[in-house]
Amino acid sequence: MERRHAVRADGITKCFGDVVALDGVDLDVTQGQIHGLVGPNGAGKTTLLGLLLGLAVADRGRLEILGQEVGRAFAAPDGVAGFVDGPGLYPSLTARQNLAALAALRGNDARTAGIDDVLDQVGLTDVADDRARGFSLGMRQRLGLAAALLTKPRLLVLDEPSNGLDPAGKRHVHGVLSRLAADGTSVVLSSHRMDDLEVLCSEVTILATGRVVFSGPLSKLATESRELEYRLRTSDPRAARDLAAATGGVKVVDDAGARYDAEVFVVRALTPALDELVAQLVRSGIAVRELAPVASPLEAAFLALTDQEAGR
Amino acid sequence: MSAIVVAEPVAPARRVSVARSYRFELVKLVSQWRIRLLVLACWVAPALFVAGVSQQSTLPSDTLFGRWMHATGWAGPLVMLGFAGSWALPLLTSLVAGDVFAAEDRLGTWRHLLVAVRSPARIFVAKSLASLTVMVVLVAGLAGSSAAGGLLAVGNQPLVGLDGHLLAPGDAAGKVLLAWLCALAPTLALAAIGLLGSVALGRSSMGLLLPVLVALAMQVAQMLPLPVAVRLALPGYAFIAWNGLFTDPAQLAPLLTGVAVSLTWAALATALAYLLFVRRDFTNPAYDGSGRRAITVGLLPLAALTAVTVGAVAVATPSTGSGIEQGKVQKSLATVFAHLYRLQTEQLHRPAVTEAQLRASAACTKSDGQAAQEGAGNDWRCVVSWHLPGVAVTGTAIYQLDITSDGRFVADGDGPKEVNGYFLVRTSTGDAPNPLWQFDGNVELLETQ
């Protein structure tokens, strides 16, 4: 099966004076894939997104975007759109005027550029003629996404697109991104919202201090050999706790967190040991009413990997 | 095993043309209430001001051509030009050019703009052209509106020039237009300094204020007893040098020098702003382009340009010192007196005389001859002598002169009162003060061969 790549970065290094923002970063983004970029503040996410958008050039390494090798000159190839550090909007213009000005900049007629369509996609039709000055952060994010969609991108680069979005806005944005990916557009997005990334992304890259500490499918993260903590609620907490303590590879964690509940306790285990515990609970006639990771696999992996990197 | 291929190649980065980018920048500028208000103010307020002042009994006689606002509508745009050169144009350049780059930093829109246009160089050109366009619209408004106000309120009458000669209405209109066009050169210099400040100082309000501060510094410098070469080498001199258009012959050398210096400043400041802008790192959101290096790169070449232009003007012109010398003061005063004497004669319905028949001359001393007979000051005292055909006696009149460092003077009649005292004369536009009572003139700072 052929996998077409929208982005191929090989050993990208970018320095700002003495600060190494990116240190030999590799990144592959498959066409039609939503690829998440995760990392603590200062990890180099914005710098990497800036390189994809043509805002800067790498000091070393090779970067290929949509089949075009990016040279020493600024500017990404046609077909790349998006934003870093929030969408760029002009507060004195209305939402429609912002998009019309952008369409005119690209030589498109504002009437035929699909402005109404993209406003509808991001759920801003009702405020199309309101000045952007009065927009909330979430509305600005959606208008920024609409501006990117206007260019009919083949690679969409978004920095924290869910910032400030209410649940309805988030649903709109997730729907748009999923449809774009289904239509073959590649999306690279950074976020601190692990739940968003887990819902949207098929692959993630975790950055720490300018280096890639993990890159691959989310499923691979879950199977990485690291223990996760799970909340366990059963019909007989005391017996379940004893059983867990006796099960090999399972540790009972006394601290149940802020939400103290006598029926709930937390265990730490690898997936096989957890499976064994569940089997034993069932065999002992103890009903399992809730079993959920305290932190998502991505979040746990993120914390573990970035802690490791920071500790180096 | 899956094969890896890259996506179908797309076209390389297609940059947005300067024309489209320019239109985009204009749309952004015009959408701002501040700019709309400025345009409205520049196209309406001068007309109201000039028309209003022209109807007052007291005229702004301390402003050049202010004392002639009752006599002709063409004095109004020149009064406005004097005011604009001091205050309005520096302020307008601050608000337009001084903010055109910094606004993107404030809004956080640089990355958006760069992704859309894909060329920092084209963004720079488009922004510069858009701010220049707005500035020209504002200047045109100031000029057109003040001229319209004057013509509607007073009428299309001849204008008394700075050396007292009469300019026919058509000639006056052409000279007024030319004077405003010349004032565009220092305006461009200030606008370029505004661009440089906006690029080099980022979000700092100092960037916005830079044209005003530079203009203020230039005005202070013009008030100081600086050597002529230094005075002419400053970009603000063209805001004064247009005065020379209203003498006969026109004092073109200082005007052309001032315009050339202003345009050189405009070109250099724009080039420096361009270099700083295209080298800026836009990936760092915390960095707005300001910094010690940016300020150094922006300021040092301008300081060097000042030194070079001072040297060039000093070498190219034979004038040294203040440029205000006894001989030039005497010649200038006698010329103005002769022209205005003719005007007074006509207004008093006396037999006409020509300047040649009058053979006016002046003898001036500074500080009663106790100090060097040159330089600015209000201690110049002159005795003007003239002859009338068929009259054996030589007429004399005394004037106290207040000469400023830029060569402009106000002559105040000190007797005899029948010649230069205060009395009203009847003119076609109504009663007016005796033209020989108080009048303006200027001393050409550069030597004329």
Q: What is the pLDDT along chain A (312 residues), one digit of tens a residue?
A: 456 789 999 999 998 878 888 999 999 999 999 999 988 888 889 889 989 988 888 889 999 998 888 876 656 677 898 888 788 889 989 999 999 988 888 777 666 678 999 999 888 999 999 999 999 988 998 999 999 998 889 999 998 888 888 888 888 889 899 999 999 999 999 988 888 888 889 899 999 889 998 888 887 776 555 778 888 999 998 999 999 999 998 998 865 554 566 788 899 888 889 999 999 999 999 999 999 888 777 777 777 777 665 555
Local confidence band at B353 (pLDDT 50, 70, 90 cut-offs): very high
- With both helix axes pointing from N to C terminus, report the angle between A95-105 and B18-30 in degrees, rounded to the nearest 10: 160
User: Would you list the DSSP string of B66-125?
Assistant: GGGTTT-TTHHHHHHHHHIIIIIHHHHHHHHGGGTTHHHHHHT-HHHHHHHH--HHHHHH
Q: For position A76, what pLDDT does the model report? A: 66
B11 and chain A: CB distance < 8 Å anywhere?
A: yes
Q: How far apart are CA A88 and CA A109, in angstroms?
A: 21
Q: How far apart are CA B85 and CA B239, in angstroms?
A: 5
**Cβ-defined contact of B3 to A53 (cutoff 8 Å):** no
Q: How far apart are CA A264 and CA A278, in angstroms?
A: 15
Q: How far is B104 from chain A (nearest CA, A)?
A: 9
Whether residue B1 is predicted with pLDDT greater than 60 in this model: the reply is no
Average the pLDDT over B257-273 and give the result: 92
What is the residue-averaged pLDDT of chain B? 88
Average the pLDDT over B117-133 and give the result: 92
- Whether residue B96 contacts residue B102, with contact meaning beta carbons closer than 8 Å, is answered with no
A189 and chain B: CB distance < 8 Å anywhere?
A: no
Q: For position A181, what pLDDT does the model report? A: 92
- With both helix axes pointing from N to C terminus, report the angle between B120-153 and B89-96 in degrees, rounded to the nearest 10: 150
Q: For position A94, what pLDDT does the model report? A: 93
Cβ within 8 Å of residue B58, ≥6 positions away: none
Q: For position A25, what pLDDT does the model report? A: 93
A101 and chain B: CB distance < 8 Å anywhere?
A: yes
b vs e for A35-63, b when ≥16 Cβ sit within 10 Å of the residue's Cβ?
bbbbbbeebbbbbbbbbbbbbbbbeebeb
Whether residue B139 is predicted with pLDDT greater than 70 in this model: the reply is yes
Structure tokens that stand for B351 in this block: 């037999």
Best of B17, B112, B277 to substitute, by most chain A Cβ atoms within 10 angstroms, is B112
**ipTM exceeding the 0.85 mark:** no
- Whether residue A231 contacts residue A294, with contact meaning beta carbons closer than 8 Å, is answered with yes
Closest CA to A201 of A225, A221, A172, A230: A221
Between B3, B10, B17, which is nearest A77 by CB? B10
A75 and chain B: CB distance < 8 Å anywhere?
A: yes
Provide the 8-state DSSP code for B225.
Answer: -
Q: For position B80, what pLDDT does the model report? A: 96
Higher-scoring residue by pLDDT: B342, A301: B342
Q: For position B5, what pLDDT does the model report? A: 47
Average the pLDDT over B251-256 and give the result: 90
Best of B283, B284, B292, B293 to substitute, by most chain A Cβ atoms within 10 angstroms, is B283
Q: Are strands B424-427 and B430-433 parallel, antiparallel or unpaired?
A: antiparallel
**Cβ-defined contact of B281 to A56 (cutoff 8 Å):** yes
- Domains detected in chain A: 5-218 (3.40.50.300), 224-311 (3.30.70.250)
Higher-scoring residue by pLDDT: A303, B401: B401
Q: For position B125, what pLDDT does the model report? A: 95
Q: How far is A6 from chain B (nearest CA, A)?
A: 5
Q: How far apart are CA B7 and CA A65, in angstroms?
A: 8
Whether residue B355 is predicted with pLDDT greater than 90 in this model: the reply is yes
Q: For position B2, what pLDDT does the model report? A: 45
Please name the helix (run of DSSP H) or strand (run of DSSP E) that holds residue B441, with its range, or none: strand B438-442
Structure tokens that stand for B403 in this block: 């000469």
**Cβ-defined contact of A74 to B8 (cutoff 8 Å):** no
Between B10, B31, B283, which is nearest A90 by CB? B31
Between A56, A104, A147, which is nearest B283 by CB? A56
Q: For position B6, what pLDDT does the model report? A: 46
